[in-house]
Amino acid sequence: MTDPTLETTLRHMNVDQNLIDDIVQGVLQQLQPTSTTGASSPGSNLVISEKLWTADLLAEKIPAAVKVVQQLSGTIVTPSGRDYLRQHQIEVIKGSESSSQSTSIKSRWKVLVVDSSPTFESCWTEMNRGGAIEWTRQRTDNISAAATEGISILCRGEAAGVMVLTGEPEQVACLANRNNQVRAVATKSAERLKQLKSSFQPNMICLDAKTVSYMELRQLVRTI
């Protein structure tokens, strides 16, 4: 509806009728609320930069109207995260390896050290030199503490993955896998890890650093 007071005022000023109509329409357009839709422009998607996707994280990051999200390279999706995406019918597309955003973000991994070795200590100085992973380390007293701490790190989203150095890698993996957000494996070689990555997508790697050579350990780290 037009404002009768505005029209009357303009007529009293002897303004041309066509000009009155133009002015009234302009005022009405300014009074109309601005449309704010949640739709993305063609080709744009919601990018979630976190490297560990849990159900809680996705519920927090994805608005109800969004049905397509972009996953950056190196992202780990937990079982609960996959269930959330399936239940809410959310499509996931992979981020471009050449994009500046994906190449600038490092995946975070944490090393829990129960039993170290001179080989690992020598390799440690190279692990953070320009690689795709940002490494930190923490000392743990025994395999039970390592499994518990590794589970906590992954469930909190503190790191995308955990490496456990222990003389009993199989036992740590067994203990950690009791949690459904953990996919722990025990391995001794980069080649075996490659096979496990394609089928299991592990987020906890347990190994005995005393039985791995320097070159094998370097290759294993690069495989992650």
pLDDT in tens, 149-168: 999 999 988 899 999 999 99
Question: At 50, is the pLDDT very low, low, confident or very high (cuts 50, 70, 90)?
Answer: confident
Q: Which of 203, 207, 143 is nearest to 172 (CA)?
A: 143
Q: Are 112 and 219 within one domain?
A: yes
Residue 117 and residue 59 in one domain? no
The per-residue pLDDT for range 59-68, each reduced to its tens digit, is 888 988 888 8
157 and 182 share one domain: yes
| 215 and 124 part of one domain | yes
Judged against a pLDDT cut of 50, whether residue 204 lies above it is answered with: yes
pLDDT of the residue at 182: 94
Helix count (H) and strand count (E) of the chain?
10, 10
In 3D space, the residue among 144, 148, 145, 124 whose CA is nearest the CA of residue 136 turns out to be 124
Higher pLDDT, 72 or 161: 161
pLDDT at residue 51 tops 90: no
Residue 40 included in any domain: no
CA distances from 191 to 24, 44, 107, 139, 210 (A): 75, 38, 21, 27, 18
Residue 153 and residue 72 share a domain: no
- Final residue in a domain of this structure, among 102, 119, 146: 102
Domain that holds residue 124: 106-223
Q: 154 with 212, same domain?
A: yes
Over residues 132-144, the pLDDT tens digits come to 788 999 999 999 9
CA 129-130-133 angle, to 5 degrees, is: 95
75/140 Cα distance (integer angstroms): 26
Residues 206, 113 share a domain = yes
- Please state whether the predicted TM-score (pTM) of the whole model is above 0.75: no
Domain membership flag for residue 204: yes
Residue 94 lies in a domain: yes
In a domain, 41, yes or no: no
Our count of domains for the chain comes to: 3
pLDDT score of 71 more than 50:
yes
Residue 209 covered by a domain: yes
Shared-domain flag, residues 2 and 21: yes
